[in-house]
Every structure is written in structure tokens, then in C-alpha cells.
Amino acid sequence: MTPEAQRVATEALQQRLGYRFTDPALLLRALTHRSVVGQGSYERLEFLGDAFLGYVIGRELYARHPEAAESALTLMRAKLVKKGALAAHAKALELAPALRLGPGEQKSGGHRRDSILADVVEALLGAVLLDGGPEAAEALVLRLYGAQLAESTPEAAQKDPKTQLQEWLQGRGHPLPQYEVEAVLGEDHAQAFVVRCEVAAPPGTFHGEGGSRRSAEQAAAAQALQSLRGARP
């Protein structure tokens, strides 16, 4: 990626985030994969963002569900901050064009890999925390998770994303989603499945990745559910 293309991509990303960095180097670090030779990667920022995200989501759930048991709160938080949910946020933010990947990672489709996309969302949170402080980072978390926090309940947390998506569509008289494996990436001992989820009404195509077909389907369903809930009541 040329410097100008990177500048354009990061400028657009800041607009979608609703946050402008005082220190652009922090933003670039948050977007840089370890496959880029001679550049610091996002991994330390990811560590920071992961911890802060868990705190904010945990605090919000605690305040919103005063009667919920610790086990229910833990399950709700886990569903909100898991890799599939984070990757769905990354796709909604259109992170892929701004990622800095090494040639090999780029060629293997790293910009579509849920694990990388999820890590970068956490790294961006960490970068905002350092750049703008806790209030700015918390505001970003609540912008990303507002709809999900409003709909998260102890009962819903017991159901997997495929079940929730099916119930959401059936409750509105829509056809059931269709799942199809699009690709199998990596070596035999460490494969990653990429699954496409087609929703007929309201129309949409969503993707998920996982170490098995089932986990990839769940990730795709989670992305579809998040998008549909954000678009319609």
C-alpha cells in the first residue's frame, strides 16, 4: 500500500470510528500485523484493548441486569466480546482496506480473516485509550455495542447465534438463512473454514470464519444477527 493510499484509508476509518487520533502513529500501530517486517505490531495494543473492553462491557451488564447471577453476566459478556462478535464490528467498520499486512499474509487473505479483524478492533480500542483517555475509549465501546447491550439478556445468552438468528427471522415471517462453505484456508493441521450466510429478507450476505464448519457458521450467524438488529427493530 502506498503512503497516500494508507492516508486515505486511515482518514476514512477515523470518520467511521467517530474518533480522530492526536497521535497518528498509534493508529498505524493498531493496524499493523506482525507479518510487516521492521514495524511494531498491534499485539500490545490488542492486550490493552481486550482488558478495557471486558471492563466496560462487564460494568454495563452489571448495571443493566441487577438481578442477574454472576454466571449469567459472565456468559453475556463472553458472547459480546468473543472473536466472532469483534470481527463483525470490524466488517461493519470496513477495517480491511486500512490493515497493514505483510506480502504473505496479504496473499493468503489475512484482511478477511476473522481472527485478525477481531484483534485489530481490540488494538484500536487500546490505541484510543492511550490517545484520548478512558472517556474516549468508553464512548467508542458504547457506540459499537449500544444495540447489542440493549438486547442482551440472560435468556438470550443461553442460545447460540444460529438459534437466535433463526428465531429472529421466523418471528418476522422471513425465510431461514442458508449456509455454504466458501473456502478452507491453511494447512491440514490448522485449517480455517470460511462460511457464507445468505439471508433472503431483509437481504444480506454475511461471512464467518472458524476452526470448524460449525464454528464458522456460528460466526457468520453472529455477524448477520448483529447487522440485522442494528438495521431493524
**Annotated catalytic sites, by residue?**
50, 122
Residue 127, SS3 per DSSP:
helix
Cα dist from 130 to 46, 47, 111, 115, whole Å? 12, 12, 25, 23
> Taking a C-beta distance cutoff of 8 angstroms, is the pair 229, 191 a contact?
no
Cell of 69: 447471577
- Among residues 224, 182, 231, the alpha carbon closest in space to that of 91 is found at 224
CA 25 – CA 132 distance, rounded (Å):
13
Other C-beta atoms lying within 10 Å of the C-beta of residue 109: 15
Other C-beta atoms lying within 10 Å of the C-beta of residue 49: 28
> Taking a C-beta distance cutoff of 8 angstroms, is the pair 154, 65 a contact?
yes
